Amino acid sequence: MSTTQKIKNRQGLKVAPEQRELFAACVRDLVGNAGKVEVSDSSSKGLAIKSRHYVAEGSKYADIRVRLTGASADIGIYYEEDGSVSIAWDSYVVGQSKALKEKLEGRSDRNTFEANLNASFVARTFEQTALENGMISHGIQRMTNEGGKNGRFEIELDTGFGGGLFDKKEKQTLGTSLGGGL
Amino acid sequence: MGRVKIIINENGEIDIEAIAGFEGKSCQEVIDFLVSQMPAGFEFETLETIRHGNFAQEVPVPKQKYVQEN
């Protein structure tokens, strides 16, 4: 019998505790109408995930639980102590999601989901950092790349700067005296 | 007002483009500032080769660019 168990994010993404809310928002955005996203209260042991298979010890309770529409198993997302993120994914069940395929250029595999989650998180972090520094965001958009096989996240920021305002040095001015002494 | 576009693809490659309103190297200064304000754990190479340090990609060095358009 197969076992469902979490596997560390293959791209090495790490999420600090203070960034978890932002990361959860990325999961919600990515899943969108393709399913339901639940986030565990940090004080609880997590959300029990359901799988067709035996769920490995240590993978039973996820920090974020995703149930794609029409699936009979959950995606479990876990924060590890070192900040890395793991995902438990029953590819047979989860990978059949039509709604997810529509969002991700016909793909619904774990790698694609993970890669898009990572990219979304980086985009959101850029946006949040910009907002905290007085910049204006025009929002994050996921676009399909040329060729229609994969996608990217784009964000436009009005920075409020443009004329070298970070250079605080005062301009040198000529004095009124041309010197010459006595 | 200077506007930048940040593009992040599925491989974790990041392009930052200045798309309007910058003079001289001011765009570079703004991007430098933004990158310096990112949370701990985000590390970037030099300005011209910005990449997300949290990605431990085992792939060839990705396309990285920094352009400034008038």
Decide if A164 is inside a domain: no
Decide if A69 is inside a domain: yes
Span A111-143, pLDDT tens digits: 999 999 999 999 999 999 999 999 999 999 999
Decide if A181 is inside a domain: no
Decide if A178 is inside a domain: no
Indicate the residue of A122, A155, A162 with minimum beta-carbon distance to B22.
A162
Domain that holds residue A98: 3-158
- Any chain B CB within 8 A of the CB of A115? yes
Span A27-59, pLDDT tens digits: 999 999 999 999 999 788 999 999 888 888 888
Indicate the residue of B11, B29, B57 with minimum beta-carbon distance to A166.
B29
Count of domains observed in chain A: 1
Domain that holds residue B17: 3-68
Mutate which of B54, B58, B65 to test chain A, going by most A C-beta atoms within 10 A?
Answer: B54
Count of domains observed in chain B: 1
Q: What is the ipTM of this complex?
A: 0.81
Q: In 10 A of CB A165, how many CB atoms?
A: 13
Decide if A165 is inside a domain: no
Contacts of A179 (CB under 8 A, 6+ apart): none
- Checking DSSP bridges between strand B66-68 and strand A54-55, what pairing results, if any? unpaired
Say if residues A129 and A140 touch (Cβ distance below 8 Å).
Answer: no
